[in-house]
């Protein structure tokens, strides 16, 4: 989902880009990563590869960690060895959600889930593997045209049902991958060392996002408020993971999440 938009954004910005799917390169294979990056000799490597199944990571923590932790390290080390900069995508789930004001880059991390711990491990691997040549971009609640996502699921369910219940006790920053991709390409062109936060402007709950999605799609479906505890999901989620930045004008600011949702809906994305 994100990778496809990064490729499009890179093309529009006039960059020559080499895009690799998992079938082309498994980032858990260190030797393969080293060989391919050495051969390609890139200026920048944007790592969008990740284990993103939050609940699945609870039952397969080692598999999730292999991709999100050491796998990210393989990419960063190989990029640094070839003289390239690494732009690595991380997550709001490195935080525990106990704050009531937006998280900034210097806030203490304390992931609640196996997924969150694997993403934090990835940040540490990238810093260790490319200490002077990395940008770690924390983002949140991604949705886009290139794969399954929350708005697509809500549109499908709202077309099938008269009523949905969606949790309103998790608050974050929905982020359109088309907007994030442009920010990643911009950071690739003027890299900023260290961790940065880049997510859709504003914040909302999943309930709010569901209502906006249904309204934007012109569907008639009532949305009721639910609780996370009632879902009995394997992985705990941060109740509040709104992201902000303390890095000033050097960091691209993304449009608001409603603008991202409007672009997503206007594109006529099919439900999934």
- Cite the active site residues: 115
pLDDT of residue 272: 47
- Could you report the per-residue pLDDT of 146-192, keeping only the tens digit for each? 888 999 999 999 999 999 999 999 999 999 999 999 999 999 988 77
Instruction: Give me the pLDDT at residue 270, please.
Output: 52
- Per the structure block, which two tokens stand in for 57? 């990571």
* Residue 193: per-residue pLDDT: 83
3-state helix, strand, coil in the chain (%, to 5): 45, 15, 40
169 within 8 A of 109, measured Cβ to Cβ? no
Euclidean distance between CA atoms 85 and 94, whole angstroms: 23
In Å, how far are 20, 32, 43, 265 from 145, measured between CA atoms?
18, 29, 27, 9
User: What predicted TM-score, i.e. pTM, was given to this entire model?
Assistant: 0.94
Nearest to 264 by CA among 143, 133, 125, 147: 143
| Residue 264: closest CA among 89, 181, 145, 167 | 145
Q: Give the model confidence (pLDDT) of 52-84 as tens digits.
A: 999 999 999 999 999 999 999 999 999 999 999
Q: What pLDDT, on a 0 to 100 scale, did the predictor assign at position 164?
A: 94
What is the model's pLDDT at position 250?
A: 76
Enumerate domains of the chain plus CATH numbers: 2-266 (3.40.50.720)
Note whether 145 and 6 are within 8 A (CB): no
With a cut of 50, which residues of the chain have pLDDT below it? 271-272
Please say whether the beta carbons of 92 and 138 come within 8 A.
Answer: yes
């Amino acid at each position: 989902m994100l990778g496809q938009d990064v490729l499009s954004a890179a093309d529009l910005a006039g960059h020559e880009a080499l895009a690799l799917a998992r079938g082309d390169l498994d980032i858990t294979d260190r030797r393969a990563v080293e060989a391919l990056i050495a051969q390609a000799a890139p200026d920048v490597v944007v790592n969008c590869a990740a284990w993103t199944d939050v609940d699945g990571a609870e039952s397969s923590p080692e598999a999730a960690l292999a991709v999100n932790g050491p796998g990210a390290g393989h990419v960063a080390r190989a990029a640094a060895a070839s003289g390239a900069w690494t732009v690595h995508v991380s997550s709001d789930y490195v935080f525990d959600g106990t704050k009531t004001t937006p998280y900034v880059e210097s806030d203490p991390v304390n992931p609640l889930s196996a997924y969150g711990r694997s993403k934090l491990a990835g940040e540490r691997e990238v810093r260790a593997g490319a200490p002077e040549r990395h940008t770690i971009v924390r983002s949140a609640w991604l949705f886009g045209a290139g794969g399954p996502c929350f708005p697509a699921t809500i549109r499908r369910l709202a077309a099938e049902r008269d009523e949905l219940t969606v949790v309103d006790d998790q608050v974050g920053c929905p982020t359109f991958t088309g907007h994030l991709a442009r920010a990643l390409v911009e950071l690739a062109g003027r890299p900023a060392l260290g961790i940065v936060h880049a997510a859709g402007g504003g914040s909302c709950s999943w309930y709010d996002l569901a209502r906006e999605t249904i309204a934007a799609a012109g569907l008639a479906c009532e949305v009721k408020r639910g609780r996370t505890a009632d879902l009995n999901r394997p992985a705990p989620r941060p109740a509040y993971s709104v992201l902000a930045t303390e890095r000033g004008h050097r960091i691209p600011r993304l449009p608001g999440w409603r603008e991202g949702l409007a672009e997503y809906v206007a594109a006529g994305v099919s439900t999934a």
